[in-house]
Amino acid sequence: MVPIKSGRFNWLDNESIAAWTFLAPALLFLGTFLIYPIAYLFYLSFTSGSFTRSGIHFIGLKNYWRLVANLDFWQVIQNTIYFATFTVIPSVVIPLGLAVFLNRSFAWRGVLRTAYFVPSITSLVAVGLGWRWLFQAEGPVNGLLMAIGLNPIPWLSSTVWAMPVIILLSIWKQLGFNMVVFLAGLQAIPVNHYEAAELDGADAWQQFWYITLPGLRSTLVFASVTTAIFTLRSFEQVYVITGGGPLNSTNLLVYYIYDQAFTKFDFGYAAAAATLLMAVTLGLVYLQLKVWGEDT
């Protein structure tokens, strides 16, 4: 007779032991490099965060109150919102249009796909140095403006133009990755849907609106979430091109955290700002999944 299993979970049976044996390396890795750093960051945000002889002392919510009262921090938040808004939307819309265009069969399609994807695999530090050379006062961009009769623009020393340079670089860097994601999503849409739409007299715009977009719903969620995360953690382009200037106009939250922690050695205050960044990121991801992720 086959023994009847009880409803209680047995932690010591062979299947459970085998499962925990195979899960142990992954759990150890996650605990060491993900869970513990997050927990320590949260703990550090409630301390003085000094790694000198004075040691670490618990100070409660003082670091968070300092954030709220610091005008420079609120300017950094405004900069980050401005940067994220004008980076995420084009970084999703433009690759979507490129993917729809490159999904068709024509000459040089493979070459164009490769050309658009190359920026995604290049070093952001190297690209940032090149971008800084392009937009310097006597760089090629101003040379081109003067060649067509326009006045040069102080791109990197202007509080108005410095942030658009950072945004343009970030969009350019993200295009290739999102384009490949959308191409994969487009190829998963059955071709007979488009053939049936053509027989019904649907034009290209109607096919895109009623077939392509619904078919890419889960892909759009993935692309928007990953782009938002990549954008909020932007650091290299600010560090290499502007250093947060001029007049703090390009200082983003991750660079601000770095500056507070490794320039001013105020680790507790930096940990509080990093905890806030993590909470905002999780909130945005949850909101995007809630709004766009239904039925995906």
Buried b (16+ CB within 10 A) or exposed e, 271-288: bbbbbbbeebbeebbeeb
Quickly count: other Cβ atoms within 10 Å of residue 224's Cβ: 22
138 in a structural domain: yes
- Give the pLDDT of residue 51: 67
Q: Say if residue 4's pLDDT is above 60.
A: no
Q: Say if residue 277's pLDDT is above 70.
A: yes
**CA atoms of 294 and 209, how far apart (whole Å):** 18
State the CATH number of the domain containing residue 265: 1.10.3720.10
Q: Say if residue 240's pLDDT is above 50.
A: yes
pLDDT digits (tens, 9 = 90+) for 221-237: 889 989 999 999 899 99
137 in a structural domain: yes
pLDDT digits (tens, 9 = 90+) for 9-66: 566 677 778 888 888 889 899 989 989 999 999 999 999 876 666 667 888 899 999 9
Predicted structure pTM score: 0.86
42 in a structural domain: no
Q: Do 102 and 187 form a contact (C-beta atoms < 8 A)?
A: no
- Give the pLDDT of residue 77: 94
213 in a structural domain: yes
**CA atoms of 201 and 207, how far apart (whole Å):** 10
**CA atoms of 217 and 223, how far apart (whole Å):** 10
7 in a structural domain: no
37 in a structural domain: no
**CA atoms of 125 and 131, how far apart (whole Å):** 10
Question: Tokens in use for 262?
Answer: 């490794």
- Give the pLDDT of residue 270: 93
**CA atoms of 272 and 278, how far apart (whole Å):** 10
Taking residues 174-191, what's their average pLDDT? 91
Q: Say if residue 5's pLDDT is above 70.
A: no
Taking residues 262-280, what's their average pLDDT? 91
Q: How many domains, the chain?
A: 1
Residue 139 is part of which domain span? 61-294
289 in a structural domain: yes
In sequence order, the 6+-apart residues with CB closer than 8 A to the CB of 14 are none
- Give the pLDDT of residue 2: 46
35 in a structural domain: no
- Give the pLDDT of residue 20: 84
